[in-house]
Amino acid sequence: MLIAHRGDTARQPANTIAAFEAAHGLGACAIHTEIQFSVDGTPWCHQSDHLAGESEDAIPISQLTDRELRRLALNSLADVVDWASRHRHLDWFVELDLALLERAGTEWAVERVVRIIRPESDSFALLSRDIRSLRMARSLGCHQVALKVGSVAECLSMGVLTLAPDYLLIRDSRIDCPELPPGPWQWVVYEINSAEEAVRWRRRGAHHILTGNLPLLMRSREASDVYGF
* pLDDT of 50: 86
How wide is the angle at C-alpha 211 spanned by C-alphas 217 and 44, nearest 5°? 135
Mean per-residue pLDDT, 66-93: 94
* pLDDT of 55: 55
% of the chain with per-residue pLDDT over 70 = 94
Q: How many domains does the chain have?
A: 1
Residue 220's pLDDT band (cuts 50, 70, 90):
confident
The CATH number assigned to the domain holding 121 equals 3.20.20.190
Q: Which domain holds residue 132?
A: 2-227
* pLDDT of 39: 97
pLDDT value at 7 more than 60: yes
Mean per-residue pLDDT, 100-129: 96
